[in-house]
Amino acid sequence: MAARGTRVARPLAPIGTAAIAAACLILANLLPDADLGFPCRARCRVSTSWCPPDRMASEAWSLPRRCPTRWCIGYRTGACRRYAGAGPCWLPSWGKCPRSIIVITLGQIEPRTGASGDMLTEAQLDSKTSWRIAVVSLCCLAMAFGAPLVATIGLKAIAADLGGARAVPALASSLTWLGSALGGPLMGRIAHRFGVRTTVVAGGIAVCLGLGLSSFGAPWQLYLGHGLLVGFLGIAGLNAPLYVYVSNWFDRRRGSALALLSSGIYIAGVVWPVIFETTIARWGWRATMIGYGLLEVLVIVALASRFLRPPPQETKRKGGGRSGTGGSTVFGWRPNRVFGMLCGAAFLCCIPMAMPQGHLVALCSDRGIPSALGAVMLSSLLAAAFVSRQAWGLVADRIGGLRTVFISSALQMLAVSGYLYVSEQFGLFTVSVAFGLGFSAIIPAYVLAVRENFTPEDAHWRVPIVLMMTGSGMAAGGWLAGFLYDRTGSYDLPFLVAVLFNVANLVLLGTLVTLSIKAARRAAFV
């Protein structure tokens, strides 16, 4: 039966149409940049598969089986719905549907143009240009996240110049992360209005100015330079806006792209500490701050000016759109109610995420393991997180962000509970690596869940708020573990509380996953 609302050319024989569909699918996967024509589409466009010029897909039939990439949709009375529950019309990768269709008969279509009259095709998504943009954004974040590490690596040197008060540089570093979390929503709105290039360039300049101000060495200069300039205006001007920006360049591989982008902080943590330790020992922390600030602003401004151009224009399908019973609901609920639950889950799961990362070395020392080995455990944890995050991106592309974050959070809970029962060296190594493998998907998967389940017009403020909640949870978790340890003299209570927070997180996420499954089943039979 032909999809409603489309003009149908002369139907082709089933074998011929199947061959054309297979050819379209092969070309879509093997030649992502090929300009072969306009997207195959029925009532709604179908993924990034390509057909001959001026043609469209318009006929469908039932195929109850595991479907090829992005061709699986629920269908009835001419309406198509995404089975993964992420919105009307757009289709999941390798989705398993109770009922499904393949849209392959060809007919005429009109080319799609943007406001400027330029041709906008789906070849712009998931292309080589898209990955180039993602890598450039990753480099910008790796430069920006290196700025607060100067104060971290030079903590003893800065404290010596301030009379031995280590609390001053430590607080300056904390204010950086607090400022970057709080500034995200504001910078997201500015990027939405003026373009991401503006906020990235301005953020790079702010980081440079912040390091320059901090190099004068007075406590208020360190606080203002790091908290306001480096954090609130600098890192915040890059982090959340680049998440939204990069997600606009991808569809099928959005999860992988976000996983890559979120690794910027890990790259900074691997590359810059060794360099800063050398330069601080040779030239001092003040010269290191000034020199790195100049290097950072030159690299970020050059990359942003050269590569960060406007992304392909999006229609309401981008990001999956809203799913559920209608365009004004998500999973049949009000969008802001679902978003509030997602933000609450983000805060709750990042409290236990922060505890092992911030207190693992101290935990090892308390249990009779040398601090040097504790540092190696922490490095192993972060290395496992970096590697597995890329694999989690592929998983998220297949099953969606919401289910990915649920699985990752469950694995995190199991790993955190392991710290309650393991005290020997080998066991702690094993638990730490398992923790790194488990938690690493959480933050990029939250961003992907927002992009899949809410309209793209809201991404500029929803994504920064989710990132703010994750950052706030990380800050609260690190502080809470220290607070409880000071009261009890043991890390048993902090990790037990971490498990309880993780359970509460899974309750919220489990509710959302259940709602998404029910909404998908309803949509499949609409």
Q: Please indicate, yes or no, whether residues 335 and 482 belong to a single structural domain of this protein.
A: yes
Distances (CA, A) of 230 to 46, 151, 269, 500: 43, 12, 17, 34
Residue 362 lies in a domain: yes
Q: Quick one: tokens of 37?
A: 């024509």
Note down the domain range covering 260: 128-311
Q: Please indicate, yes or no, whether residues 263 and 360 belong to a single structural domain of this protein.
A: no
**Pick from 133, 91, 121: which is nearest to 31 by CA?**
121
369 torsion bin: left (phi>0), alpha (psi -120 to 50), beta (else):
beta
Whole-angstrom Cα distance, residue 195 to residue 64?
44
Residue 3 lies in a domain: no
Q: Quick one: tokens of 109?
A: 């279509």
According to the model, what pLDDT value does residue 167 have?
75
According to the model, what pLDDT value does residue 329 have?
81
Q: Please indicate, yes or no, whether residues 407 and 499 belong to a single structural domain of this protein.
A: yes
According to the model, what pLDDT value does residue 380 have?
83
Whole-angstrom Cα distance, residue 464 to residue 126?
23
What SS3 class is residue 234? helix
Final residue in a domain of this structure, among 257, 277, 311: 311
According to the model, what pLDDT value does residue 524 have?
65
Q: Please indicate, yes or no, whether residues 340 and 452 belong to a single structural domain of this protein.
A: yes
Whole-angstrom Cα distance, residue 167 to residue 45?
57
According to the model, what pLDDT value does residue 76 have?
31
Amino acid at 204: G
Q: What is the CATH number of the domain that holds 489?
A: 1.20.1250.20
DSSP string of 489-508, one letter each residue: SSSHHHHHHHHHHHHHHHHH
Whole-angstrom Cα distance, residue 330 to residue 230?
36
Q: Quick one: tokens of 290?
A: 């000034």
Q: Please indicate, yes or no, whether residues 164 and 303 belong to a single structural domain of this protein.
A: yes
**Pick from 391, 394, 268, 401: which is nearest to 346 by CA?**
401
Given a contact cutoff of 8 angstroms between Cβ atoms, the answer to whether 34 and 118 are in contact is no
According to the model, what pLDDT value does residue 525 have?
64
Q: Please indicate, yes or no, whether residues 282 and 402 belong to a single structural domain of this protein.
A: no
Burial class (CB in 10 A: 0-12, 13-18, 19+), 159: middle
According to the model, what pLDDT value does residue 488 have?
87
Q: Please indicate, yes or no, whether residues 405 and 299 belong to a single structural domain of this protein.
A: no
Burial class (CB in 10 A: 0-12, 13-18, 19+), 141: buried
How many domains does the chain divide into? 2
Q: Please indicate, yes or no, whether residues 401 and 487 belong to a single structural domain of this protein.
A: yes
Residue 46 lies in a domain: no
Q: For the CA atoms of the chain, what is the radius of gyration?
A: 25
Spell out, as residue ranges, where the chain has pLDDT lower than 50. 1-121, 315-326
Q: Please indicate, yes or no, whether residues 306 and 398 belong to a single structural domain of this protein.
A: no
